[in-house]
A and B are shown apart, each in its own frame.
Chain A
Amino acid sequence: EDKVVQSPLSLVVHEGDTVTLNCSYEVTNFRSLLWYKQEKKAPTFLFMLTSSGIEKKSGRLSSILDKKELFSILNITATQTGDSAIYLCAVWVSGTYKYIFGTGTRLKVLA
């Protein structure tokens, strides 16, 4: 059965800290992996990753994919209270025409 697992489930840090969120997957036919930030209702798209070793970067956020070891990480440097959210990853499995979501990581950044 295809599955996506995120760790840790929750995390509390102080402003200025750097955090690393993990997303591992076991799927039959990987195509792409997405990262989202969810603050209130709707997840906001952050990154799409399809190739190993190519870092995607946006401001203080960056992400990389390892297709050999079947995981991705999302790094947030110099965290701010506005980074407090649930971070979701999702994997597209070819042939199923849908994304499978992980459980999410709840990040809380304290001032």
Chain B
Amino acid sequence: SAVISQKPSRDICQRGTSLTIQCQVDSQVTMMFWYRQQPGQSLTLIATANQGSEATYESGFVIDKFPISRPNLTFSTLTVSNMSPEDSSIYLCSVVTPYLWEQYFGPGTRLTVT
């Protein structure tokens, strides 16, 4: 398994501002992902965070809005830029372990934009 920490745990932000969420894993992993879960919805993949290269974004998500950094194999950040109330969601980072291909999630960040 993998132990993942994420911070902040929650935040309330004003529209137009940006928030950076940090994700730390207790072991080196190649595959790290960022998800969003809007109220009452299932998980939606935002992007795959690639170490040493630009993140791979899913349809509907762009780098200008959700810039991602992955400086090494244990850490990543997701920034939610120029926030609007529609960005109010739970943001989750996750990793897929090598060999077993099991996916584990961080504790999540609950973001409220007012």
B1 within 8 A of A: yes
| B15, CB-defined interface residue at 8 Å | no
Q: Using known A-B contacts A31-B101, A32-B101, determine if residue A42 contacts B33 with beta carbons closer than 8 Å.
A: no
Say if the beta carbon of B86 comes within 8 Å of chain A. Answer: no
Main secondary structure of the interface of B (DSSP, over half): strand
Asked, given contacts A41-B108, A42-B106, whether A102 binds B42 with beta carbons under 8 Å apart, the answer is: yes
| Number of chain B interface residues as a range | 20 to 34
Interface residues of A in 38-61 (CB under 8 A from B): 40-45, 48
* B1 engages A45 (CB within 8 Å): yes
Nearest CB on B from A78, distance (A) = 26
User: Cβ of A30: which chain B residues have Cβ within 8 Å of it?
Assistant: none
Report the separation of the CA atoms of residues A76 and B61 in the bound assembly, to the nearest whole angstrom: 36
Contact B110 A103 (CB under 8 A): no
Please state if A99 and B105 are interface contacts (CB–CB under 8 Å): no
State whether the Cβ of A21 lies closer than 8 Å to any Cβ in chain B.
Answer: no
Q: How far is the CA of A31 from the CA of B99 in the complex (A)?
A: 12
**A and B contact pairs by CB, cutoff 8 A, 24 listed:** A32-B101, A34-B102, A41-B90, A41-B92, A41-B107, A41-B108, A42-B106, A42-B108, A43-B92, A44-B105, A45-B105, A48-B101, A88-B42, A88-B43, A90-B103, A92-B101, A97-B48, A98-B33, A98-B45, A99-B103, A101-B42, A101-B45, A102-B42, A104-B42
B residues contacting A by CB (< 8 A) are 1, 31, 33, 42-43, 45, 48, 90, 92, 96, 100-108, 110
